Chain A
């Protein structure tokens, strides 16, 4: 078991050196490359957000509903909070939510998908069908239902979005793993007397990482979207935390009078979601050797 883990970490390290080559090749796909740049931009913004914000994101002021100008670049909301600062700070919320949820989904989905693929027959069949059933419900519906029971909150939102991703990622992982499993090197490993654990995690998993990368990027985009939706519905992150979905929700009643309240967080969501999707396309093209 330890060996398998050691082996896997080796694989991940060697993957990092591919990163440079990946970026170089990605330049042949302008859209995907732009996606990467936008994503990197947002990563920096979210890391540096405490330094970047001109005002405290939860700080009230008397300048209510100020339109965008020199003092408040993106204007202010009905409490007089600076929208620019809230969008910047909101990027951190978005990243924490989306990354954790995607990570959770990737972990669970990969585990289930690999198991379902490796143990074909009743176990695989059962897992496969269970995933299909879960996928029959819209993710938002499940999320609303569970959050209704558990109550809103950052941790619960992460858990719920992660859970919503699991069957989808699981199905992708399963079909990719089935393809790898049929290859002769997997049989060679069995014949050699490798443990099931080793075969699953050291022989099969490294060969589906590309597919999981693509799926991860798509799920990341979807997480941003889903968390914003939940925030909008009031089931997500609670006020006064700066959250893009929440901001749009609060701006709803002032659309005619203060459109900037909704435009800027919406643009932020759109840019991040599109960037992640374009990047996913880039990863796919890279792993299939098209670029």
Chain B
């Protein structure tokens, strides 16, 4: 990289008293037809060069609004209701539109969650990046293009010249995000705001982007605001963490201090409700935060967290605590922080059931049936690239979504299936449930063949296999009441007399921790977590033996995720149901699963007990996945192992071992030519050319 990249401050050096960015008692409102939403209620923040500020909070806490308020780019119905944002000591509210435009991109740059939306699809990415320099620095086309290629190199894009000539749709998600980061760095900004930049990316890609962000911070000496909901990401990326709740910053501290000694009860709650990668079911139940975020149109008196706080005292509901210094470089907005010694150790998991959920399940435990709950034998599912008429006209390409997978699952056990997007885990689940017709192979449920799609399966089989989907917004029919949704499977399968149905619906709702009053409500009146509970109740209404869960918690906030995971575990204890649990989140899978299958490009590369998967010997892919998990604990020493490139196309998967193109431990030609043999001991299967002894010697990742 050229030496002139060395940073020189654009307006002379900032004096010691003057921060690069200072936000003082900022208030932001949104006007809606119904009421005024108070999205930000008095946030103060100082930002200095060379630091990454992690802004973390659950959905609706105001973290993105804060970013947009800082750059003075709120939605039409949003406005700043008080306080000020000073950049280099100048109030940004006084700036004219054209002055702001020269600040945007040039001095303050922003990277968004969805790179697809922030890149122009009709421009070559190189031109698009170069445009920044032409506009802000007045470079010529040629100079700007050269600079763009250099910048692509800077963000570790292999072969930057040819990438610059491509359009954004020709790039993978991770590459697109790199390109948008390159674009934001073009004008050498002093402040870079990253709004959930890795949320849509796979963990292995996320890990690489996080590495890069950290490296760029040092190189460019910029200040960065890193907005995320993921505590693991914060732990890895930030120097200073700002925890937001209901439009306020409720705790600020260095990253190490925050994770080892959280002062605010909300922070503590957040840390307690996420499964750590070293936790499993035996560590106890997760500890969700009760209640919900206060209504931002009608905020309560006193502390905004009071209604959910386990340590609440009278004073909390009367006086707003405000952010105050409670330790060295540690601020918290709590009257009673730091709490007593007993409370400030590393948050433990709850050892007992938090609520009496799952005890009201209306069925008797099912008696031991013959055979394994699920046997998947050499299952393949190929999709034709074209559909409809064209199929017969062209030689169609086959996408090998699932390419010969064998797994089984015993009663009362949980099989976790992990892998990056496109690895075939969802297709596998959809094949088991019968929503996809398998190309070849065999699926058996309790010794009954269920290889056929759902239309031709017997009702008695259908009711025993259920699924919980990913998206709480589309999982319930918006035109039907909650009661009707839960009642329908009961009616359909006819296990109960008509008079009994009402009572059974009630007990199912109670079993998933919902009030009986929900029966008459419509899905739009429910929160995401509540909808997912209804989905669980609906799945369990037909007394299933096998429930597939396809990322059931991935779109929920962590505190809600905890309640759903607890619920699933309690129901399993109650009913002996087996789960096939699909997720990209290894911590969640570890927490809930007995066995884990790791998938890559339609193949299972490793399967074993949870214990076996998380300790050596590893398949090299598993090893890479584990080292990419964002661990919500900055003290954990995690091995750094990064994969090259991105997942190859499933239309033409690599020969031999499908992982050989990215494998950091590739042996040689044999990996490209022969499919890997089974190594491993007992039920722990690893498909790899590396001998087991060698894999055993690998150092543990976590």
Which residues of A approach B to under 8 Å, CB–CB? 3, 11, 120-122, 125, 183-185, 187-188, 190-194, 203, 206-207
Q: Are A191 and B459 in contact (CB under 8 A)?
A: no
* Cβ proximity bits B511-538 to A, threshold 8 Å, 1 near / 0 not: 0000000000000000000000001001
Given known A-B contacts A11-B479, A121-B387, A207-B478, A190 and B489 have beta carbons under 8 A apart? no
Q: Are B434 and A191 in contact (CB under 8 A)?
A: yes
CA distance A184 to B472 in the complex (A): 9
Q: Are B463 and A184 in contact (CB under 8 A)?
A: no
Task: Please list 20 pairs of residues, one from A and one from B, whose beta carbons are closer than 8 Å in the complex, sorted by A's number.
Answer: A3-B491, A11-B479, A120-B387, A125-B389, A184-B469, A184-B471, A184-B475, A185-B475, A188-B538, A191-B434, A191-B435, A191-B462, A191-B465, A191-B466, A192-B466, A192-B492, A193-B454, A206-B480, A207-B477, A207-B478
Q: In the complex, which of the residues B433, B477, B491, B535 contacts A203, with contact meaning CB atoms closer than 8 Å?
A: B477
Is B450 engaged at the interface, CB distance under 8 Å to the other chain?
no
CA distance A184 to B535 in the complex (A): 10
Q: Are A193 and B475 in contact (CB under 8 A)?
A: no
Is B258 engaged at the interface, CB distance under 8 Å to the other chain?
no
Which A residues are CB-close (under 8 A) to B433? Answer: 191
Most buried by B among A121, A184, A191, A194: A191
Q: Are B474 and A183 in contact (CB under 8 A)?
A: yes
Q: Are B388 and A187 in contact (CB under 8 A)?
A: no
Q: Are A193 and B477 in contact (CB under 8 A)?
A: no
Which A residues are CB-close (under 8 A) to B488? Answer: 192
Min CB distance B458 to A, Å, is: 9
Closest to A14 in B: B479
Is B191 engaged at the interface, CB distance under 8 Å to the other chain?
no
Q: Are A207 and B479 in contact (CB under 8 A)?
A: yes
Is B476 engaged at the interface, CB distance under 8 Å to the other chain?
yes
Given known A-B contacts A184-B471, A203-B477, A207-B479, A192 and B462 have beta carbons under 8 A apart? yes
Main secondary structure of the interface of B (DSSP, over half): loop
Is B578 engaged at the interface, CB distance under 8 Å to the other chain?
no
Count: A-B pairs, CB below 8 Å: 61
Instruction: Enumerate B338-391 residues with CB–CB distance to A below 8 Å.
Output: 387-389
Which A residues are CB-close (under 8 A) to B493? Answer: 193
CA distance A185 to B465 in the complex (A): 16
Which residues of B approach A to under 8 Å, CB–CB? 387-389, 433-435, 454-455, 457, 459, 462-463, 465-467, 469-471, 474-480, 488-489, 491-493, 535, 538, 542
Given known A-B contacts A184-B469, A188-B469, A193 and B474 have beta carbons under 8 A apart? no
Min CB distance B337 to A, Å, is: 42
Closest to B430 in A: A187
Closest to B470 in A: A184
Which A residues are CB-close (under 8 A) to B388? Answer: 120-122, 125
Given known A-B contacts A185-B476, A188-B467, A193 and B462 have beta carbons under 8 A apart? yes
Min CB distance A201 to B, Å, is: 12
**Shortest 3 CB-CB contacts between residues of A and residues of B:** A183-B474, A184-B469, A193-B462
Closest to B463 in A: A193
Q: Are A206 and B479 in contact (CB under 8 A)?
A: yes
Q: Are B477 and A185 in contact (CB under 8 A)?
A: yes
Which A residues are CB-close (under 8 A) to B538? Answer: 188
Min CB distance B227 to A, Å, is: 28
Given known A-B contacts A125-B388, A192-B542, A185 and B466 have beta carbons under 8 A apart? no
Which A residues are CB-close (under 8 A) to B478? Answer: 207
Q: Are A193 and B479 in contact (CB under 8 A)?
A: no
CA distance A184 to B550 in the complex (A): 11
Closest to A185 in B: B477
CA distance A120 to B476 in the complex (A): 22
CA distance A185 to B480 in the complex (A): 11
Q: Are A194 and B435 in contact (CB under 8 A)?
A: no
CA distance A193 to B388 in the complex (A): 25
CA distance A109 to B518 in the complex (A): 36
Q: Are B475 and A188 in contact (CB under 8 A)?
A: yes
Which B residues are CB-close (under 8 A) to A120? Answer: 387-388
Min CB distance A264 to B, Å, is: 41
CA distance A206 to B467 in the complex (A): 23
CA distance A257 to B439 in the complex (A): 78
CA distance A206 to B480 in the complex (A): 9
Closest to A125 in B: B388
Closest to A209 in B: B479
Closest to A3 in B: B491
CA distance A125 to B388 in the complex (A): 7
Min CB distance B473 to A, Å, is: 9
CA distance A122 to B538 in the complex (A): 33
Q: Are A190 and B479 in contact (CB under 8 A)?
A: no
Min CB distance B698 to A, Å, is: 40
Q: Are B435 and A193 in contact (CB under 8 A)?
A: no
CA distance A11 to B454 in the complex (A): 27
Q: Are B479 and A192 in contact (CB under 8 A)?
A: no
Q: In the complex, which of the residues A3, A122, A190 contacts B435, with contact meaning CB atoms closer than 8 Å?
A: A190
Min CB distance B67 to A, Å, is: 26
Which B residues are CB-close (under 8 A) to A207? Answer: 477-479
Which B residues are CB-close (under 8 A) to A193? Answer: 454, 457, 459, 462-463, 492-493
Which A residues are CB-close (under 8 A) to B475? Answer: 184-185, 188
CA distance A203 to B467 in the complex (A): 18
Which B residues are CB-close (under 8 A) to A185? Answer: 474-477
